[in-house]
Amino acid sequence: MSTKMACELSVYGSDLEPDEVTRLLGIQPDTTWRRGDPRGSRRTAFFDYGCWRIETGIAEEADMNEQLKVLLARLGTHEETLKAMRPPFDLEFGCVIYLDGPLPILHVDADTLQRISHLGAELDIDLYQFPHVSP
């Protein structure tokens, strides 16, 4: 395994209806759920909030800034519509980094930070370290 990264943009809230977000933005999400939908494969837990999410997918040796720009580009001209959704909904850009090798680039340029901030979105970065096994 090598270092991999995935980023996503989530709109979420207790009363969020994913289909309404899709209608307002005109963008097909990669993942959605509603409050009360089963959580996980065992179907013994349930979501207590709704979510609409677009994702970059997992990439090797990725640049976080470039992945965030991909998500912002998918919004096209709908950034103001998205911004108007909060409150009552929350916006979050999340990046997950699976470390098994060199650290990826964690730089975010001023323009990208400004656009995320303008939306009123949070930025969450999760790092997962996997042990390196020599052959």
β-pair partners for 55: 8
Coil/strand/helix, residue 22 = helix
Rounded CA-CA distance 35/121 in Å is 21
Structure tokens, 66: 């470039």
Please state whether the predicted TM-score (pTM) of the whole model is above 0.95: no
Beta carbons within 8 Å of 98's beta carbon, 6+ residues apart: 1, 3, 4, 5, 58, 128, 130
Beta carbons within 8 Å of 20's beta carbon, 6+ residues apart: none
**pLDDT tens, N- to C-terminus, the chain (135 residues):** 578 889 999 999 999 999 999 999 999 999 999 988 888 777 788 899 999 999 999 987 678 999 999 999 999 999 999 999 999 999 999 999 888 776 777 899 999 999 999 999 999 999 888 765 444
55 alpha carbon, distance to own chain's centre: 6
| Cis preceding-peptide flag for 87 (omega within 30 of 0) | yes
Alpha helix stretches (DSSP H) within 33-78? 64-75
Spatial CA neighbour of 106 closest among 125, 134, 86? 125
By CB atoms closer than 10 A (0-12, 13-18, 19+), residue 30 is middle
